[in-house]
A and B are shown apart, each in its own frame.
Chain A
Amino acid sequence: MRQLINALLKYKNTLLYLGLLIISLIFLNHRSFYHQSIFSRTGLALSSKFNRTVQNVSSYLDLAYTNEKLIAENVKLKALELMHFTEQTPKDRTIDSFPFKVLGARIIKNSYNLARNYLIIDQGYTDGIETEMGVISSDGVVGIVNQVTAEFSSVISILHRDLKINAGFKKNGAYGSLSWQGKHPKRMKLNDVSTLNPVMVGDTIVTGGMSDYFPYGIPIGKVFSFQKPELEGYYDIDIELFSNLTQKDFVYILKNIKKDQLNQLKNESR
């Protein structure tokens, strides 16, 4: 004990310096956006390297289960493909003009127990990932790419209190904005749906085509419960998600090929 105190006294200047240095770095981080972004990018790069190692081990142990899931998804896709060939309705024949390119990635860090959750995936700008790309999984929406390094990207999860996603009803196209309340990882709220539209428990909710991130019609969840206000106004709708965001391994990143044109159009019409 005495030796410990002696050692502390001997290095008190160095310790004081390091302590004050940390305080000044925090001060720097708070005052300058430039330094903040550099710090967070470095942090992202470091933590992703570490998490990738952990994830490599655990994904190896999970291989059998992953295979099962991939087969299930393949079956589903096969079914869709067959449907596509048989139906040939004009609405289904849009694959050529479909403005999204799909890239695959593995999740190496996933959080779902905070108020503002982020994921980290193992693809970065060298793989063609850019910020503000939509991210989906085999059975629903996952989030939007937020920050990109050479090999990794961080994704704002839809389980993030400040993120709002354009979503609507599959049956009639009535749309609103989907947000997470921060309580349960399978429950979200759909706001701004006018009471002019009929709503039933069990109605399917899909992504609306109003945003640049996601194409129209990706299934998100179904109506769990809703309240209608006494007068005219907007519904208060609770949604149960189809996908379980607490156990995801693979995601698909949607690259909007025609985003430049969209942005140009938006700027011109402003």
Chain B
Amino acid sequence: MNRDNLILIFRFLLLLFLQAFLLNNINFFGFINPNLYLLFIIVYRLDGNPTLLIVLGFVMGLLLDLLTQGSGGQTIAALTISFLRPYIIRFSFGVNYDVPMGMIKGSLLTQRLLYLSLMVVIHNLVLCSVIYFSFDNTITILKNTLFTSLFTFILIYISLGLFKNK
């Protein structure tokens, strides 16, 4: 249990700094920055305490906003996706999910892909909506959500593969 906590803290800090200082400066095609820190929320233990995850998600988003001079969109997006995660899991893996070690083993590929893409798309949708915060920019919000989600999804999928090999 202690070792798990250490890994959790290490993963939290690593993803936070990676996101704040490297990934937020990519500006692929001028506006696409992958939100890899979502990996922290995605690979959080499925049987872990959901209350703790909400607090961690909030702190993660808040620190990210403070480090990158963001307006507060990451805070709300990370908080919301942490809160919604149990519902998304139930939706994608079925009612009686029983995979303590997360999604790495023992679930269908389609279920995993559904879970991943739902997490990524909802997160980016919330993020873009908060940042633009206006009905006049609906097209921009959807466009940004689409491209950022695609990029984030690819990056997260690759990272998951790396973790699995280790």
Which residues from chain A sit less than 8 Å from chain B, CB to CB? 12-14, 16-17, 20-21, 23-25, 27-28, 31-32, 34-35, 38
Q: Within 8 Å CB of B58, what residues of A?
A: 20, 23-24
Interchain CB contact under 8 A, B75 and A13:
no
Q: Within 8 Å CB of B134, what residues of A?
A: 38
Cβ contact of B54, chosen from A17, A25, A32, A34, cutoff 8 A: A17
**Residue among A12, A25, A28 having the largest count of chain B Cβ atoms under 10 Å:** A28
Number of interface residues of B (CB under 8 A): 21
For the A-B complex with A16-B55, A35-B133 known, give 14 more contacts whose Cβ atoms are closer than 8 Å.
Answer: A13-B50, A13-B54, A14-B83, A17-B54, A23-B58, A24-B61, A24-B72, A25-B76, A27-B72, A27-B75, A28-B71, A31-B72, A34-B71, A34-B133
Q: How far is the CB of A211 from chain B (nearest CB, A)?
A: 34
Is chain B's interface secondary structure helix, strand, loop, or mixed overall? helix
| Contact A17-B83, Cβ < 8 Å, known A12-B51, A24-B76, A27-B62 | yes
Q: Within 8 Å CB of B83, what residues of A?
A: 13-14, 17
CA distance A35 to B134 in the complex (A): 10
Interchain CB contact under 8 A, A13 and B51:
yes
Q: Within 8 Å CB of A25, what residues of B?
A: 72, 76
CA distance A31 to B70 in the complex (A): 8
Which residue on chain B has the smallest CB distance to residue A17? Answer: B83
Q: What are the nearest 10 A-B pairs in CB distance?
A: A28-B72, A32-B71, A17-B83, A24-B75, A20-B58, A27-B72, A24-B76, A31-B71, A20-B79, A16-B54
